[in-house]
Structure 1
Amino acid sequence: MEDFKLTGVLPATFTPMKANGDVDYDKIDEYCEFLSREGIRQIYVNGSTGEGPSLTAEERMRLTECWVKYGKKNGRLSKIIIQVGGTCLKDSITMAKHAETIGADAISTLPPLYFPVATPQDLVEHVRAVAAAAPTIPMYYYHIPFRSGVNINMEQFLLAGRDVIPTLRGIKFSDKDLVQMCACLRTKDARGRNFNIVFGSDEQMLGAMALGADGAIGSTYNWMSGTFRRLLTRLDQGDLQAARLEQTRSQDVVKQVFAFGEKTNGTVSTLKVVMSLVGLDLGPVRGPMRELETKDKEAFFKALTDLGFMEWRKE
């Protein structure tokens, strides 16, 4: 755990569903193989993209077992991070223990949902309780204030938590406040290391990485990871014009995701349906989100193909 660090591109995985809304666990092996062919070696499970808050603790633990079993098969995945946060602290503790026991590489947690925390100290105590249930693997806090409703200063959280949460390794920073992100990047943990900050807004990846973010976790990396790996390569080479091209391509796609997402009560449905376009149907979403109607799906796919998405999404 001493040298554990997330870098590069990590997809936040979808949860395969059957037509009746049950989780399709049998699909995980095929999904792992798809990601492996896409050049993916690290994943983030049961987050917003994976509909984690809409799943039961039992479903989430079984998904964790499947991802670890099939992800580690033939070394297809090197790092599997499990998001265990939700509305019930006891469930989060149970899921954290389970993730550690079955061989997950790290855990992550949301803040308490519904009953929010108000201060950095309150948040530290919540994360400490979850992290203590899995004391041998790293913990990443999941900062997503536009969904969680908790917008505590992350630099203050890290400073307050570093001495009392021994496994606190960093933040999945899904916010567009890049000034606050930079402050987190300059903050050191109890061992004197910089915290590992992984950015979570795909359409702003270039700005975050140019400012020093260590990596990125997001939905579109499931089916557009090649685009973002090219972006990182061009940035490393100092070719900003080429890096901007990749970012603007991704932004054009995300605009369509959001436009059609207005018809589905959220973007997870539109993000997930792209998987069927690129060759892996992962089924519907769970309510209250809705599926795109056939005519809207056809219009969505046409909008993506007109952008050239199928030609440049891969390396």
Structure 2
Amino acid sequence: MAPGDDRKVTGLVAATFTPLDAQGEVNLSVIGPYVDYLTEKQGIKGIFVNGTTGESMSLSVAERKVLAEEWCLRAKGRMDYVIVHVGCMSLKDSQDLARHAAKIGADGIAAISPSFFKPKTAEALRRFLQEVASAAPTLPFYYYQIPSFTGVNVPVKDVIEDIEKLIPSFRGVKFSGGDLLDFGQCVGYSQPHWSVLYGMDEQLLAGLAMGANGAVGSTYNYMGCYVDEMISAFETKDLVKARTIQFKIQELLNYAIKLGFDTGVNKQLMSDVSGLHLGPPRLPLMPCSPDLAQLLLQKYHSIFD
């Protein structure tokens, strides 16, 4: 998917978990069956790899490269989009991962803002993103905004204004924040060939109403088929059905949050629903306790079965 391609990212994109073995090492053998599950059981046609859900900030550059390569290999001919997240604290590492993504045939790259030395202005953030994107100028580039993790609250509208003058390959935003005012401004400013992808699974319906082209999220790994129904209902103006499905998703996530929902717990729920052995999260994330895992699985089945 070259920058000149008119094809936009739309629909659901699953933010994939990173399979680890019992010793905490990357387990590539799970990725093939994982792609099978997403395509055959959840109807997912796009993946966002090595992002927050994939624990990218806890992985080495070498690990992120082998994971990206395996995802691209296994998804080839099966998925419409494989977007590789290349954001790092180090500009040089981000550029290295961007060049690698282009080499292995990724369909696009995305980057978060650095979160240790944070950009204080939109201009500083734009310059960082420009340098990352320039390392792989043939790949569509997406800004991945997630202020709850980065602590960077620069309005996205300020970041994307006239951004194609700096980044000709810019093709959209993964907007993982709750500010619907800023999100609406992004949609309103978005160019016809961009994709504005909403990243708050629990309020996707609101994002769709604001004009989201699609969505990237972790729960689509195991709830993708239900969310597809919600999107279809929204598109056919059956808002009662769309809200009913969104409220079910909210019920599960609200229950999980009260029990201590995090990436490790989310990963265990995906393992239990899918039957894939995704392993534990990497420290400092802690494994989900068996009792909590059982409660969440029961709640999932009580809502969706």
Q: Which runs of 4+ in 1 moved over 4 A?
A: none
Secondary structure at the residue paired with 2:94? helix
* Preserved contact between residue 269 and residue 293 of structure 2 (Cα < 8 Å): no
* Preserved contact between residue 30 and residue 276 of structure 2 (Cα < 8 Å): no
Q: Give structure 1 stretches of 5+ with no counterpart.
A: none
Q: CA deviation at 1:27?
A: 1.1
Q: CA deviation at 1:275?
A: 2.0
Q: 2:10 is matched with which residue? A: 7
Q: CA deviation at 1:299?
A: 2.3
Q: 1:159 is matched with which residue? A: 161
Partner deviation per Cα, 1:73-98 (whole Å, 9 max, x = no partner): xx111210000002111100000000
Aligned residues: 300
Secondary structure at the residue paired with 2:161? helix
Mapped pair 1:35 → 2:73:
no
Q: 1:208 is matched with which residue? A: 207
Whole-Å separation in 2 of the counterparts to 1:15 and 1:122: 31
Partner deviation per Cα, 1:45-101 (whole Å, 9 max, x = no partner): 0111000111000000100100011110xx111210000002111100000000011
Whole-Å separation in 2 of the counterparts to 1:14 and 1:161: 30
* Preserved contact between residue 108 and residue 142 of structure 1 (Cα < 8 Å): yes
Whole-Å separation in 2 of the counterparts to 1:142 and 1:199: 10
* Preserved contact between residue 141 and residue 170 of structure 2 (Cα < 8 Å): yes
Q: CA deviation at 1:297?
A: 2.0
**Aligned runs of 1:116-127 on 2, under 5 Å?**
116-127=118-129
Q: CA deviation at 1:135?
A: 0.5
Q: CA deviation at 1:235?
A: 0.6
Amino acid at match of 1:231: M
Q: 2:216 is matched with which residue? A: 217
Q: 2:28 is matched with which residue? A: 25
Q: CA deviation at 1:40?
A: 1.1
Q: Which of 21, 45, 66 is residue 70 of structure 2 equivalent to?
A: 66
Mapped pair 1:276 → 2:279:
no
**TM score, norm. by length of structure 1:** 0.92
Partner deviation per Cα, 1:253-311 (whole Å, 9 max, x = no partner): 11133223x2xxx611121112222222211100111112222222222232333x3x2
Whole-Å separation in 2 of the counterparts to 1:286 and 1:257: 20
Whole-Å separation in 2 of the counterparts to 1:208 and 1:81: 21
Q: CA deviation at 1:188?
A: 4.3
**Aligned runs of 1:118-197 on 2, under 5 Å?**
118-189=120-191, 193=192, 195-197=194-196
Q: CA deviation at 1:160?
A: 4.6
* Preserved contact between residue 52 and residue 60 of structure 1 (Cα < 8 Å): yes
Secondary structure at the residue paired with 1:162? helix
Q: 2:226 is matched with which residue? A: 227
Partner deviation per Cα, 1:212-268 (whole Å, 9 max, x = no partner): 1100000000000111111111111111100000100110111133223x2xxx611
Q: Which of 286, 299, 305 is residue 303 of structure 1 equivalent to?
A: 299
Amino acid at match of 1:236: E
Q: CA deviation at 1:165?
A: 0.8
**TM score, norm. by length of structure 2:** 0.95
Q: 1:94 is matched with which residue? A: 96
Identity of aligned residues (%): 37
* Preserved contact between residue 64 and residue 99 of structure 1 (Cα < 8 Å): yes
* Preserved contact between residue 172 and residue 198 of structure 1 (Cα < 8 Å): yes
Aligned Cα RMSD in Å? 1.3
Mapped pair 1:242 → 2:249:
no
Q: CA deviation at 1:181?
A: 0.8
* Preserved contact between residue 8 and residue 194 of structure 2 (Cα < 8 Å): no
